Amino acid sequence: VSAEPDGPEDRLRRFATIWSRAVFPVTSTSLTRPEFEERLLPLARRLSEALRARAFDAQAAKAVGAALVDAHCTDPDALSASLDCVDAYLVLYCGEDGPQEDLRTRCSRLQHAMAAGYAQALRARTLAEQEAIAQAALQAQGVVAQALHASEARFRAVFEGAAIGIGIADLEGNVLQINGAMMRMFGGGEQTVRGRNVREWTHAEDAPQVWKLYEELVRGEREHYHVEKAFYRPDGTVLWTNLTVSLLRDADGRPQYQLALMEDTTERRLLNLRLRYEATHDALTGLPNRTLFFERLEKVLAAGEEQRFGLCYLDLDGFKTINDSLGHAAGDRLLVEVADRLQSCATAPGEMVARLGGDEFVALTTGPDTRREVDDLAARIMNALLAPVRIDGRELTVRGSIGIVEGAAGERSAAEVLRSADITMYRAKSAGGNRFELADAEADARAITRHGLTTALPAALERGEFFIEYQPLVHLGDGSVRGAEALVRWLHPQHGVLGPDRFIPLAEHTGLIVPLGRWVLEHSVRQARAWRERSGETTPLRINVNLSPCQLTHPGLVQDTVDILERAGVEPEALCLEVTESALIGADDDLLKPLRRLAEMGVDIALDDFGTGYSNLANLRRLPVSVLKLDRSFTQSMQQFPADPVDLKIVEGIVSLAHSLDLAVTVEGVETGAQAEQLRILGCDTAQGWYYARPGPPDRLHELALADATG
């Protein structure tokens, strides 16, 4: 709007400019000053018009005052500045030529109205804004309250629905709140948990640190802890839990509550205990098993030096026979009965009975004086087995062999102790059973060597560790060498040369005797041929080879012998097989058949160790035997002079009997010339012994034979 310079419009604008300049600094409008001036211009016009109106009405100025508030001139200084401006310039710029006094009066009244209008509008605006913000606050609080309610509802659902037990207590231990799961864990009934104090929940099985951790937590020194803990339920049963307790702090970090989360592990624990029990107990007898026994024994052995232990290792005698004849069910019932009786023998603290398996049991006693106690224990066990066991109407006699080991802790391992007990038990068993033996180191060592030899035997045969020595057989009539007995030796890499008594029983036990025997036969027969070749046709030396009971029953015996003889090109007559008397006692025709076949072929069969068994002399006729080898016990007394007349009579009788059955008689163990002479007088045919020669290499025998021939 262009205004005529200094015309009414121009003057009005100048008034608005002055006004805006006066008020702008105290407004908080975001308008620029020129924009603000544009907002004031219509207000200035209304004031100007009201000032000069024909009919004066001050109310118009009220609206102007209100409009100032609308233009965000809410600072009262804006009103004051505005009134100053109107007072000083309205009449001057907008009064035109009106009566001055009248204009001034009007101007004053306009200012009063403007102030009133401003005040009314500001009051209304203030109230409206206060109302609005209060409403907004309420609204917001409502939203928050709702959200909180929802959140709390969710929390409550989590709290109540959780499968885990949740409880909150204050720092004095008073239980404030618990959830359903926790209540159920304690067996229901809110009063059983709520209102109680955490500190009352001690349990006999509390680990020592449980309450220390608790104290640290409530003192604020620990944020949480996790333990396994038991509780007593009101009905007296035990609740086992995995318990996690956390410290809850307030917004300023001060400890406020304790929160317990607990998981019921009672069932799992019972299951674990049962599994543990099953893993450590024998299902049949309910006794601790090998695992548990070893745990206990190891614990005992790991204890201090003052601790001693005594162990009885029991193996029932002849249990296999009972099992085989009466069946396993009866065998099991016998074991159960034995287990019960054993258990009653070891009831003192520190004593235990376990079943190691089969019919093997152990009883353990511990303490400072087990030397005496273990003997008592063994005696109690033997005593407990005395009364027969009644099964299926039968009275079964139970006997057992016990190996006892006693000693101080810390010297041997559990395995060593048990092995010693095992060896000792076998010693008791081989001494006839139904007895107990005390372990001794030497016997153990022998057994251990025996064990070592047994396991080394097969490899020894492969590696050629065996060799044969020959002991000459001399004709008593003319003193000529007629043959030799082949005696096998083992050149053991550690133990040196071992005699047959050290390993033949082991070889028989393991069955290795069959290949070993074959090896001996083969080499001896080959040796016999070598002698024959070297001595010419004149003096064919015979070879005596021992046959073990095992070989006797081996189906290949006859064929093997025939093959060996044929391969070596040796006549059967050059071979004599020696069989012990005991191997043939009670022999039936089946057992004798191979011997008969060999005898028919021309092989001599000698009855070795004759007189040590209980031979039925009448039976001799039945046997395919051509030689009796008289045991050295009969000839020992003849080393002195004069000889025992009874022995002389016996030998004389045997020789007479033998000769009447057409059997030759060989004597062993001849050590003196007197002895040899006596035996010759008594009619013995052949002799062997140190008097003639010790067993030796084959060449020595050859030399003897040659010397004999030339002498």
Partner 1 sequence: MERPAWAPRSIDISVPSVSRIYDYYLGGSHNFEVDREAARRAMEFMPGLPKIAQANRAFTRRAVRYAIGRGVTQFLDIGSGIPTFGSVHEVARAAGSDARVVHVDHDPVAVAHSQAVLADNADADVVAADLRKPQDILTSPQVGRLLDLDRPVALLLVAVLHFVEDEDDPYAAVAELTAALAPGSLLVLTHASYEGIPLPQRRAEGVVDVYKDIRNPLIMRSREKIARFFEGYDMVEPGLVPMPHWRPETAPEDEDPYAFSGFAGVGRTS
Residues that bind partner 1 (CB under 8 A): 25, 27-34, 72, 74-75, 125-126, 129-130, 132-133, 135-137, 139-141, 143-144, 147-148, 151, 248, 259
**4 contact partners, CB below 8 Å, separation of at least 6:** 10
| Cα separations in angstroms, 126 against 46, 83, 120, 476, 569 | 25, 21, 10, 154, 142
| Cα separations in angstroms, 415 against 295, 306, 367, 412 | 11, 21, 20, 8
Residue 196 Cβ vs partner 1, minimum distance, rounded to whole Å: 23
Q: CA 113, CA 106: separation in Å to the nearest integer?
A: 11
Closest CB to partner 1 among residues 158, 431:
158
The CA-based dihedral angle spanning residues 523, 528, 530, 534, taken in that order and rounded to the nearest 10 degrees:
160
Residue-wise burial string across 629-643, b where 16 or more C-beta atoms lie within 10 A, e elsewhere: bbbbebbebbeeeeb
Query: Are 475 and 686 within 8 A, CB to CB?
Result: yes
| Centroid of chain to Cα 145 | 58
Neighbours of 454 (CB within 10 A): 16
Closest CB to partner 1 among residues 68, 404:
68
Which DSSP string corresponds to 646-692?
A: HHHHHHHHHHHHHHHTT-EEEE----SHHHHHHHHHHT--EE-STTT
Residue 142 Cβ vs partner 1, minimum distance, rounded to whole Å: 9
List beta partners, residue 477.
none
Residue 56 Cβ vs partner 1, minimum distance, rounded to whole Å: 33
Neighbours of 198 (CB within 10 A): 19
Q: CA 375, CA 430: separation in Å to the nearest integer?
A: 20
Owner of token pair 């002698």 = 531
Residue 45 Cβ vs partner 1, minimum distance, rounded to whole Å: 23
| Cα separations in angstroms, 665 against 13, 436, 607, 684 | 169, 43, 10, 5
Closest CB to partner 1 among residues 34, 327:
34
* Structure tokens belonging to residue 503: 């390993």
Closest CB to partner 1 among residues 131, 703:
131
Amino acid at 602: G
Q: CA 487, CA 65: separation in Å to the nearest integer?
A: 146
Residue 44 Cβ vs partner 1, minimum distance, rounded to whole Å: 20
Residue 150 Cβ vs partner 1, minimum distance, rounded to whole Å: 8
List beta partners, residue 470.
486, 696
Q: Give, in degrees to the nearest 5, the angle at Cα 250 between 245 and 251.
A: 135
Q: CA 356, CA 281: separation in Å to the nearest integer?
A: 10
Residue 136 Cβ vs partner 1, minimum distance, rounded to whole Å: 4
**380 contact partners, CB below 8 Å, separation of at least 6:** 345
Residue 255 Cβ vs partner 1, minimum distance, rounded to whole Å: 13
Closest CB to partner 1 among residues 169, 557:
169
Closest CB to partner 1 among residues 151, 413:
151
List beta partners, residue 387.
none
Q: What are phi and psi of 584, to 5 degrees?
A: -105, -5
DSSP element (H, E) containing 191? none
Closest CA to 92 of 165, 158, 155, 12: 12
Owner of token pair 């307030």 = 250
Query: Are 243 and 262 within 8 A, CB to CB?
Result: yes
Closest CB to partner 1 among residues 65, 624:
65
Residue 140 Cβ vs partner 1, minimum distance, rounded to whole Å: 4
Determine what percent of the chain falls in helix, strand and coil, rounding each to the nearest 5: 55, 20, 25
3-state SS, residue 657: helix
* Structure tokens belonging to residue 299: 């614990």
Query: Are 286 and 337 within 8 A, CB to CB?
Result: no
List beta partners, residue 644.
none
Closest CA to 175 of 198, 199, 200, 156: 198
Across 339-456, the runs of DSSP E, i.e. the strands, are 352-357, 360-367, 389-391, 394-396, 399-408, 435-438
Closest CA to 629 of 600, 605, 603, 660: 605
Closest CB to partner 1 among residues 132, 157:
132
